[in-house]
Amino acid sequence: MDEIEIQKKLKQFAKDRDWEKFHNLKNLAISISLESSELLEIFQWQNENSAFWKNKKIIRMIEDEIADVMLYLLRFSDIAKIDIQKICEQKIKKNKKKYPIKFAKGISTKYNKLKR
């Protein structure tokens, strides 16, 4: 993914519509949360063993919501001057320390409750 190129397109998209005035960190953070909730809504009330999400219409809905979340994240990070690749790589390193294979393999326990 070329996040820089997508951020440029998003910036131009907002500029063309005079939406830059609405794209502040608070509004974008709210939008990230709302779009994430819309993704969750697709799964609401579904049986966890259901294959409903394999339906082509549902897959398209999921894809749209994933794109919405990602686009708002990219716009947020652009305005906040945050290097997404850098912070993701840093977070993976942190998580490797928090969840060592020896203690975390095959379990979903939160890092602070792992038996060490």
DSSP string, the chain: --HHHHHHHHHHHHHHTT-GGG--HHHHHHHHHHHHHHHHHHHTT--TT--GGGSHHHHHHHHHHHHHHHHHHHHHHHHHT--HHHHHHHHHHHHHHHS-HHHHTT----GGG---
The Cα–Cα gap between 43 and 21 comes to 33
Instruction: Judge if 19 and 69 occupy the same domain.
Output: yes
Instruction: Judge if 46 and 59 occupy the same domain.
Output: yes
Decide if pLDDT at 73 tops 90.
yes
Instruction: Judge if 16 and 65 occupy the same domain.
Output: yes
Instruction: Judge if 20 and 69 occupy the same domain.
Output: yes
Instruction: Judge if 52 and 106 occupy the same domain.
Output: no
pLDDT tier at 79, thresholds 50, 70, 90: very high
Domain around 100: 83-116
Instruction: Judge if 11 and 51 occupy the same domain.
Output: yes
Distance from chain centroid for Cα 4: 16
Instruction: Judge if 89 and 100 occupy the same domain.
Output: yes
Decide if pLDDT at 53 tops 90.
no
Instruction: Judge if 61 and 22 occupy the same domain.
Output: yes
* Mean pLDDT over each residue of the chain, to the nearest integer: 95
Instruction: Judge if 87 and 116 occupy the same domain.
Output: yes
Decide if pLDDT at 80 tops 90.
yes
pLDDT tier at 115, thresholds 50, 70, 90: confident
Q: What is the pLDDT of residue 1?
A: 82
The pTM of this model reads: 0.88
Q: Which whole number is the average pLDDT over 29-53?
A: 93
Q: What is the pLDDT of residue 48?
A: 81
Please, what is the end-to-end C-alpha distance for the chain in angstroms? 37
Instruction: Judge if 31 and 59 occupy the same domain.
Output: yes
**How many structural domains does the chain have?**
2
**Tokens representing residue 33 in the block:** 């949360």
